[in-house]
Structure 1
Amino acid sequence: MTRPTIIAIHGNGGGAFRFARLRPFFTENAPVAFEALTLPGFGGTPRDPDCRTLADYADRIEQFLTRIDAPRILLGHGIGGSLALEYLQRFAPSVTGVILHAPVGARLDTRWFPRVMGFPATRELGKRMLASPVLRPLWRRMLFSQPVPDDVANRFFAEYGACEAFGQMFELITAEWFAALEPITIPAILLWGARERVLTLDQAADFRAKLPAATIEIVSDWDHFPMLEQPEAYARKLMALSARLLAPANVV
């Protein structure tokens, strides 16, 4: 059988670079391969004027996935989880299973950050503030619980400034969009860090309604960005979860 591949979808502001620290652990001898894509308008890439809806972004994901042999595991982090949910609405048969890591979508009408970002002016201001070198020490304390190499952290924050699709995500990923999602029965895992501060663990139940076959995996010492803070542990966890999703009893 072809070696399975995890295909990772990044969160808002960045691109495939967010998963770069995992590469050394996905060797040729690893049980699964790993690929990360950068969607148009993220990670310094130009925005695609034809990407007007989440369905358009799902099409771009499908174009990337179909170049990779099955079996495929889809991983979505943050808004990457939102994009993965939209993808499953249209292309679920393309993947064997899905891992949503602290996804965005639940309670968007009550959480303060999405509500603030509901205005175009605050979206642009928020993007500039996240990219600001002056504010970087503050953001590092707020977003990271453990040390991240300076070069990695600096690129992580700088990519916000170059993200042309940053504000668009707040226009497209809405409470109305989430409510309209149809439940999809597919082997799935909702992955959360117990120390998560960006998207709290109590939101997991909302995603279980959209993925009724999902189980919840909680890692005690993870915050929102373990792929940057604890790359080896993150890679090993993804390998273990992929094996669970690919087990014959889970394949539907």
Structure 2
Amino acid sequence: MIASGLTDLALDVPRTAAKLSLHALRWTMGLTPHRRPAGDIEWAWLESGAADGEPLVLLHGFSGSKDNWLLYAPLMAGCYRVICPDLPGFGDSTRDADNDHGIAAQVARLAAFLDALGIARCHLGGNSLGGYVALAFALEYPERLLSLSLFNNAGVNGPERSDLQQKMARGENPLQLHSRRDLDRILALVIHRPPYIPLLVKYLVLAEHRRYGALLNRIFGQIIGDALERPLDDRLGELDIPTIIFWGEQDQLLHVSAATFQNERIAGSELVVFEDVGHVPMIERPWATAQHHRDFLARAIVSQTESAAA
């Protein structure tokens, strides 16, 4: 008890300093924080761009947060109302260990969140777990989407599995985080060429995992259960929404073969594979990814306008 209390106290000052720095960076990047209840969830999100622009909702990956889009969102905000929420169980949204955090539950909550914001239709994108939720949402509520953007999404099994996927299938969790050494190891798995990350940021990440580690492990188990028991492979042919798939060729978490697999089965989908990029192209290659993304959305809008006119 005493050791735990001293550890929390030691992390408190750097945690506060890191959060202040993060708030300043959000302000600099033109991202405004918001909060609103929807159903049983208090949602937190960042927003940027014109309030009357077409909504572009971007979902983060497992153990991430809305700040995963900090560099990317401003690059898309010129034409769109960019909304980056914390999924329930992560970041500053409701984190309740008694809640169901399976994919179906998250999809239903996302629909309630969009309803609360008065968004009938939107462009939806997601990375990793967020991509899994986005893809499942597209299959459940296709009428609510203008387009779908997948960034190294989970939920689909390609013909090949990464070493990490094989370990996960055996019930192992190589993403457990207990120390700075674990954090550096995980960053090397996620990002092909990890950049320098200030110690303050690392302290913040460690403090969050120390506080919510048990919840994250529970959520991880639910996600893996869904991925193994209810993968979306056989439903990809149902999609009739403009779709783009981004992938990093050096992704060590989800094998790049899943990108080609989806591209072949989603009619009319586009595929962009980046060399020397890992699991998070919007962080590792934000400008190039955003350029492809903006071009794709512009084509999707033109296509929809022509279809409506016909």
Task: Provide the TM-score with structure 2 as the length reference.
Answer: 0.67
- Quote how far apart the aligned CAs of 1:55 are: 1.7
- State the percentage of identical aligned residues: 21
Residues 77, 100 of structure 1: 8 Å contact kept: yes
Show the counterpart of 2:168. Answer: 117
Q: 1:20 to 1:148 in 2, by over 3 A?
A: farther
1:54 aligned to which of 72, 95, 103 = 103
- Quote how far apart the aligned CAs of 1:49 are: 3.5
Larger RCO of the pair (alpha carbons < 8 Å, separation 6+): 1
Q: 1:109 to 1:23 in 2, by over 3 A?
A: closer
SS of residue paired to 1:82: helix
The CA distance in 2 between the partners of 1:217 and 1:87, in whole Å, is 22
Map Cα deviations across residues 113-163 of structure 1 (whole Å, 9 max, x no partner).
Answer: 23423466x34xx343x3521333333333321415325565556655533
Show the counterpart of 1:227. Answer: 282
Letter in 2 for 1:94: R
Q: 1:227 to 1:109 in 2, by over 3 A?
A: closer
Show the counterpart of 2:156. Answer: 106
Residue 4 of structure 1 pairs with residue 48 of structure 2? no
User: Which range moves more in the overlay, 96-105 or 131-140?
Assistant: 131-140
Question: Structure 2: 5+ residue runs without aligned partners?
Answer: 1-50
SS of residue paired to 1:51: coil
> What pairs with 1:82-101 in structure 2 (closer than 5 Å)?
82-101=132-151
Residues 15, 39 of structure 1: 8 Å contact kept: yes
Task: Provide the TM-score with structure 1 as the length reference.
Answer: 0.80
1:190 aligned to which of 228, 231, 245 = 245
Which has the larger share of helix? 2
For this pair of structures, how many residues does the alignment match? 246
1:167 aligned to which of 218, 221, 229 = 221
Residues 248, 280 of structure 2: 8 Å contact kept: no
The CA distance in 2 between the partners of 1:37 and 1:200, in whole Å, is 26
Q: 1:176 to 1:143 in 2, by over 3 A?
A: closer
Letter in 2 for 1:51: D
- Quote how far apart the aligned CAs of 1:100 are: 0.7
- Quote how far apart the aligned CAs of 1:197 are: 3.4
Show the counterpart of 2:183. Answer: 136
Q: Answer with 1 or 2: which has the greater Rg.
A: 2
Letter in 2 for 1:198: L
Residues 105, 175 of structure 1: 8 Å contact kept: no
Question: Structure 1: 5+ residue runs without aligned partners?
Answer: none
Residues 9, 16 of structure 1: 8 Å contact kept: yes
Q: 1:226 to 1:87 in 2, by over 3 A?
A: same
